[in-house]
A = this chain, B = another copy of it.
């Protein structure tokens, strides 16, 4: 009979290896995208053998898909939490601040959080597999945004609001990926918010006075 011990050092080591591989993959995905990731660079960063990827994940692609799905879910959760924390009478600036909140916090935190943000931004350009499981969350997030956005942008039909939301999301993704992102990451959080929120709000609201 096989007894279950509280700590099995072998399995713990395996989990550490998996985590190391996944976070090394995430960093490389964030800074070079899906094409720029190589097996050996991941394993070097994680201090693991090349065969570890096949052993633990099956293939390099499966490892990347896992890392991407994890990042996307983490981002969508943060996004929904920010929107849902808004009261029913939130102003346009508050909506914009909540919408951009996860990214601004990622800039402030740096490290893995920023890598998550950048990876999510990249898959906005090159969509991978693994969307299926998160489609529901994605659409719920969009409905939430439209619900709090609508009352603040009167006279604009829903189709156009969806377009503006996608524009605003794209703008944030761009800031995360482009070189300007490293400048923004160096800014004090409060300063970044003061610069960024009006732009996002303006994109929602439209320009014609």
Contact = CB atoms under 8 A, between A and B. Distances in A.
Contacts of A188: none
Which of A35, A202, A204 neighbours the largest number of chain B CB atoms within 10 Å of its CB? Answer: A202
Interface in A168-209: 170-171, 173-175, 177-180, 195-209
Given A125-B178, A127-B179, A199 B35 contact: no
Give the number of copies in the complex.
2
Interface stretch (A8-16, A77-85, A105-113, A159-167): A159-167
A36 interface: yes
Interface residues of A, number: 39
Consensus secondary structure, chain A interface: helix
Interface of A: 32-33, 35-36, 92-93, 96, 124-125, 127, 160, 163-164, 166-167, 170-171, 173-175, 177-180, 195-209
